[in-house]
Amino acid sequence: MRGLNYGRLNTEISQMSNVITSANDRTPTTLKAHLVTRLRDAIIARRFKPGDRMNESQLARQFGVSRIPVREALQQLQEQGLVMNHPRRGMFVNILSDDDCQQINGLRIILEAEALKLCRARLTAASEKQLLDLVERMENSNAGSEIDAAALDLEFHRAIWNLSGNTYLEKVLNSQVPMLFAHQALEYTSNNEKLWPLYHHRQLLDVVLGKSEQTAEEAMIAHLRLRYTNPERYSSLAYASPKPQAREPGDEAGAIRRD
């Protein structure tokens, strides 16, 4: 973790204020939204770098506002995964190691598979339409930036978590997964590459619609393999079934063992 450099932060924030205000064509409706936009753009532009501390009082002084809207803005950035809260140390720009990403993937395979299965069990015509619309938006997307593409991708996954009907499952996923999306989007942005794949979500929709040959766990692993090698490394599936194969429909529970 980098040390705190107030001098550099001061300079960067005042530069950021000038540059972003003139470049920004959005019209924030509230102070909080304004702060969120400016801080988000500064993180994307790497004026705040991964691991930099987002000091609440320092930012409040620089923006000439009280700490409350800054705190609220940082909380919103945390929900988007761009900022991470370290207890007793404060807020920092997202910094995840490869190992962190793979551990979150291990969690996603298990918990999102559960969400997919719950979503399938509770599916209504309205939720089917909601998911289909999202998949079609992604398939036709020309997202302007990696962050926009990541937001659309996350919107689909969040819809699945929400449609699981288990608010605690949804909360756990919402507290851990957005930072993975944000990390990846920042990596892609800094490499100046348009890489974010959005076309492959129909396979997850097929699981929800009961049209897939894959179990929910297998579909999640396949989904994550598009971007990671061995995304199952930190889940028990790496031990139970290193190479997931299609099973008989209805046998997906067999993929998780508690022995």
Footprint of Zn ion on this chain (CB under 5 A)?
153
Choice between 153 and 217, CB closer to Zn ion: 153
Element (H, E) at 92: strand 90-93
How many Å apart are CA 48 and CA 63, to the nearest integer? 15
Choice between 12 and 153, CB closer to Zn ion: 153
Q: How far is the CB of 124 from Zn ion (least distance, A)?
A: 22
Q: How far is the CB of 182 from Zn ion (least distance, A)?
A: 14
Give the 3-state secondary structure of residue 79: helix
Count how many Cα atoms sit within 13 Å of the Cα of residue 55 in the half-sphere of its side chain.
Answer: 13
Choice between 39 and 179, CB closer to Zn ion: 179
Q: How far is the CB of 223 from Zn ion (least distance, A)?
A: 6
DSSP state letter for 120: H
Q: How far is the CB of 185 from Zn ion (least distance, A)?
A: 12
How many Å apart are CA 29 and CA 26, to the nearest integer? 9
Choice between 52 and 153, CB closer to Zn ion: 153
Amino acid at position 128, single letter: E
Q: How far is the CB of 228 from Zn ion (least distance, A)?
A: 12
How many Å apart are CA 259 and CA 27, to the nearest integer? 56
Choice between 22 and 142, CB closer to Zn ion: 142
Residue nearest to Zn ion (CB): 153
Choice between 184 and 189, CB closer to Zn ion: 184
Choice between 153 and 252, CB closer to Zn ion: 153
Q: How far is the CB of 161 from Zn ion (least distance, A)?
A: 12
Q: How far is the CB of 211 from Zn ion (least distance, A)?
A: 18
What are 232-239's contacts with CB under 8 Å, separation 24+?
Answer: 232/105, 232/106, 232/109, 233/102, 233/105, 233/106, 234/102, 234/103, 234/105, 234/106, 234/107, 235/105, 235/106, 235/107, 235/109, 235/110, 236/110, 237/109, 237/110
